[in-house]
């Protein structure tokens, strides 16, 4: 457990009872001023009333002082923030980016031009090889921090058509051609992956027909520059993870209506394997009816090169048992196979 310092009793009293005490004191003072008979009663017996009101008055004063300090703190914070926010009157170079006049920006450290935490441009500015209108950096203090960028429009990057209405993620990399490394983007219409990758070894690969898989707009593509690293030190040939995971998004693969699908793709945008997906609706495959929600995957042929092209189907639990039924089909013929579990 993470230790948490308890609030002091005084602080809790100030926060919870302070507003009530302040209201009572103010109401009493107003009534004393506008009602003469209350003033007469107070003059006759002041001390009992003073003793009753004194704790409320002390609590109300503490609460008022606390609120004053909060106000002063917020004011100082706002002033400090305003001192780090600027509108460029002339072009300048900040965080390694040439920015035009009219750019709005905020420095995370006052006076440090490389500490820009966000910027908005009056016109498209090239950040790496991407035309952008604004960006944010959550950790400007880190050399390779993530940049969240808003494109000026649909843009082709690394062979993918990225949606200009969605966030593009890049990282600063002095070794990259344009000084930035592509991390991820949401795809616009018109993107495809093909099958199969020559790295996806299988015993019947030479008889597998080529296919083209059209990706829906909103698909997330993530770069894996070095591929997946395994415990034995070897790396896979996957260079991209294609994620069809947004609510309502579906993709047709091998005539299957899939959602929440994750495709591993090589550097040429050729399919290596489907790591996970689920059926969007009930579907007949290989003479068997699978309900919506059935898990679908193809094996990673790096581990099973002697296997044919397979489609693994895992049915949802039936409610009476947590045991899930699994069946494996030959992907090309649809035939159910018993020896590949």
pLDDT in tens, 129-155: 999 999 999 888 887 789 999 999 999
Q: What pLDDT does residue 119 have? A: 94
Tell me, yes or no, whether 270 and 308 share the same domain: yes
Q: What pLDDT does residue 164 have? A: 95
Tell me, yes or no, whether 46 and 100 share the same domain: no
Asked if residue 114 is part of any domain, the answer here is yes
Q: What pLDDT does residue 247 have? A: 92
Q: How confident is the model at residue 173 (pLDDT cuts 50, 70, 90)?
A: confident
Compute CA distances 269 → 2, 28, 58, 194, whole Å: 45, 77, 72, 7
Asked if residue 2 is part of any domain, the answer here is no
299-315 pLDDT per residue, tens: 888 888 888 889 999 98
Contact indicator for 86, 110 with CB cutoff of 8 Å: no
Tell me, yes or no, whether 174 and 197 share the same domain: no
Tell me, yes or no, whether 34 and 157 share the same domain: no
The pLDDT of 172-179, averaged and rounded, is 86
Tell me, yes or no, whether 179 and 61 share the same domain: no
Highest mean pLDDT among 155-164, 293-302, 318-327: 155-164
What is the pLDDT of the chain when averaged over all its residues?
85
CA–CA dist 28, 4 (Å, integer): 39
CA–CA dist 253, 211 (Å, integer): 9
**What angle separates helix 36-44 from helix 9-34, to the nearest 10 degrees?**
120
- The answer on pLDDT for 59 being more than 90 is no
Tell me, yes or no, whether 168 and 283 share the same domain: no
The pLDDT of 45-52, averaged and rounded, is 68
Tokens 């005084």 -> residue: 10
Q: Residue 157 has which token pair?
A: 């990057």
Asked if residue 17 is part of any domain, the answer here is yes
Question: Which residue, of 186, 203, 237, is where some domain finishes?
Answer: 186
Compute CA distances 35 → 28, 38, 45, 51, 247, whole Å: 10, 6, 16, 21, 65
CA–CA dist 290, 277 (Å, integer): 13
Q: Residue 251 has which token pair?
A: 């993709």
Number of domains in the chain: 3
Sign of the torsion angle spanned by Cα atoms 55, 60, 63, 69 = negative
Asked if residue 4 is part of any domain, the answer here is no
Question: Which residue, of 134, 166, 186, is where some domain finishes?
Answer: 186
Sign of the torsion angle spanned by Cα atoms 281, 284, 288, 289 = positive
Tell me, yes or no, whether 97 and 176 share the same domain: yes
Angle (CA) 189-222-177 rounded to 5° is: 100
Q: What pLDDT does residue 23 have? A: 76
Q: Which domain holds residue 69?
A: 9-84
86-98 pLDDT per residue, tens: 889 999 999 889 9
For residue 223, the cross-strand partners are: 240
Asked if residue 317 is part of any domain, the answer here is yes
Q: What pLDDT does residue 56 have? A: 74
Q: What pLDDT does residue 133 have? A: 97
Q: Write down the H helix ranges in 122-247.
A: none
For residue 143, give the H/E element and its range.
none
224-243 pLDDT per residue, tens: 988 888 888 888 889 999 99
Question: Which residue, of 168, 186, 204, is where some domain finishes?
Answer: 186
Q: What pLDDT does residue 1 have? A: 47
Q: What pLDDT does residue 81 have? A: 63
Asked if residue 1 is part of any domain, the answer here is no
CA–CA dist 219, 260 (Å, integer): 10
Tell me, yes or no, whether 330 and 260 share the same domain: yes
Tell me, yes or no, whether 270 and 315 share the same domain: yes
Q: Write down the H helix ranges in the chain.
A: 9-34, 36-44, 46-84
The pLDDT of 71-83, averaged and rounded, is 70
Asked if residue 300 is part of any domain, the answer here is yes
Of 200, 165, 174, nearest to 301 by C-alpha is 200
Asked if residue 196 is part of any domain, the answer here is yes
- The answer on pLDDT for 4 being more than 60 is no
- Long-range contacts formed by 90-98: CB under 8 A, 24+ apart: 94/119, 95/119, 95/137, 95/140, 96/172, 96/179, 97/125, 97/127, 98/125
DSSP 186: E
Tell me, yes or no, whether 63 and 45 share the same domain: yes
Tell me, yes or no, whether 216 and 280 share the same domain: yes
Of 201, 194, 138, nearest to 171 by C-alpha is 138
Longest dimension (CA), the chain: 108
Angle (CA) 176-182-187 rounded to 5° is: 155
Task: Count the neighbouring beta carbons within 10 Å of the beta carbon of residue 230.
Answer: 11
Tell me, yes or no, whether 226 and 323 share the same domain: yes
């Amino acid at each position: 457990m993470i230790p948490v310092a308890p609030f002091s009793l005084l602080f809790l009293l100030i926060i919870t009872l302070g507003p009530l005490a302040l209201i009572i004191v103010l109401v009493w003072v107003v009534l004393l001023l506008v009602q003469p008979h209350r003033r007469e009663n107070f003059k006759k017996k002041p001390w009992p009333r003073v003793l009753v009101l004194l704790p409320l008055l002390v609590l109300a004063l503490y609460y008022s002082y606390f609120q004053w300090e909060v106000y002063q703190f917020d004011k100082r914070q706002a002033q400090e923030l305003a001192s780090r926010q600027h509108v460029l009157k002339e072009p300048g170079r900040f965080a390694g980016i040439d920015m035009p006049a009219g750019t709005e920006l905020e420095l995370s450290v006052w006076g440090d031009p490389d500490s820009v935490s966000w910027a908005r441009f009056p016109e498209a500015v090239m950040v790496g090889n991407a035309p952008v209108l604004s960006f944010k950096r959550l950790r400007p203090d880190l050399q390779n921090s993530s940049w969240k960028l808003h494109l000026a429009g649909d843009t082709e990057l690394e062979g993918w058509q990225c949606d200009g209405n969605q966030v593009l993620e890049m990282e600063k990399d002095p070794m990259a051609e344009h000084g930035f490394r592509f991390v991820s983007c949401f795809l616009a219409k018109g993107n495809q992956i093909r099958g199969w990758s020559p790295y996806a070894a299988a015993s019947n690969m030479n008889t597998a027909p080529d296919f083209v898989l059209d990706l829906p707009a909103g698909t997330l593509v993530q770069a894996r520059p070095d591929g997946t690293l395994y415990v034995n030190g070897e790396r896979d040939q996957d260079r991209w993870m294609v994620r069809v995971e947004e609510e309502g998004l579906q993709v047709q693969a091998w005539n299957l209506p899939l959602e929440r699908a994750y495709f591993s793709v090589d550097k040429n945008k050729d399919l290596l394997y489907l790591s996970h997906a689920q059926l969007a609706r009930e579907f007949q495959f290989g003479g068997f009816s699978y309900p919506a929600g059935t898990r679908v995957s193809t094996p990673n042929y790096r581990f099973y090169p002697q296997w044919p092209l397979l489609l693994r189907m895992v049915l949802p639990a039936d409610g009476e048992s947590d045991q899930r039924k699994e069946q494996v089909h030959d992907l090309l013929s649809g035939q159910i196979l018993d020896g590949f579990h």
